[in-house]
């Protein structure tokens, strides 16, 4: 009985932690390091601005959205691009997980190219 209760409690704590760790962030690109597979973003939160280094998970994608070119289609399509194509000043959003002391991105979306 005790072991079951311990497992349930641990699971609850684990879920809490997991949901707390996954979150989208958005900000302006301040630096791109293709070698280290990182993006430095300037993000604003609750009135404060700070820099966040986002580490790209192996296999993580960087995508932009463009209009479909097929006849009769006008919606957006995803277009993948390498991290090195991301430029300083662009606004991106990233779905990240908190792993250790790092923000690890599974996907980065280009919001605005400037």
Partner 1 sequence: MRTKPFACLTIAVGVLLLGLWIAQPPATRANGEKDDEKGGHAHVPAPFEYADAHMPLSLWTDQATIARGKEIYAVRCAVCHGDSGDGKGPAGVALPLKPSDFRDKAGVAEMRDNYWIWRVSEGGQVEPFKGKGSAMPPWKGELTVQDRWAVMAYQHTFSGHQGPHVPWEHPESVVVGRDIYAMACVACHGVEGRGDGSVGPTLSPRRAPQPRDFTTGEFKFRSTPSGQLPTTADLFRTVTEGVRSSGGAMTIGLRGHRIMPSFRHMPEEQRLEVIEYVKSLNRAFWERQEIKTVNVPAPPLVTAERLARGKQLYADAECLACHGERGRGDGPSAPTLKDSRELPIAATDLTQPDRFKNGARPEDIYRTLVTGLAGTPMPSYADSLEPDQAWDLAYYTLSLSNNRRRTAETMR
Distance of CA 88 to the CA centre of its chain: 16
Residues 6+ apart with CB under 8 A from 78: 63, 64, 65
Q: Does 27 sit near partner 1 (CB under 8 A)?
A: yes
Chain length of the chain? 114
Do strands 38-45 and 23-33 pair parallel, antiparallel, or not at all (unpaired)?
Answer: antiparallel
- In the bound state with partner 1, the residue whose beta carbon lies nearer, of 82 and 112, is 112
Q: Does 8 sit near partner 1 (CB under 8 A)?
A: yes
Residues that bind partner 1 (CB under 8 A): 1-2, 5-6, 8-9, 12-13, 16, 19-20, 23-27, 43-49, 52, 65, 67, 74-76, 78, 91, 93-96, 98, 103, 107, 109-112, 114
């Amino acid at each position: 009985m005790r072991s079951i209760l311990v497992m349930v409690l641990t699971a609850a704590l684990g879920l809490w932690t997991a949901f707390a760790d996954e979150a989208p962030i958005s900000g302006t690109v301040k630096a791109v390091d293709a070698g280290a597979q990182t993006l430095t973003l300037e993000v604003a939160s609750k009135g404060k601005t700070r820099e966040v280094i986002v580490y790209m998970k192996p296999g993580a994608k960087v995508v932009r959205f463009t209009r479909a070119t097929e006849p009769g289609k006008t919606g957006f399509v995803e277009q993948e691009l390498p991290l090195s194509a991301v430029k300083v000043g662009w606004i991106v959003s990233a779905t990240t997980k908190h792993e250790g002391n790092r923000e690890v991105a599974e996907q980065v979306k280009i919001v605005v190219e400037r």
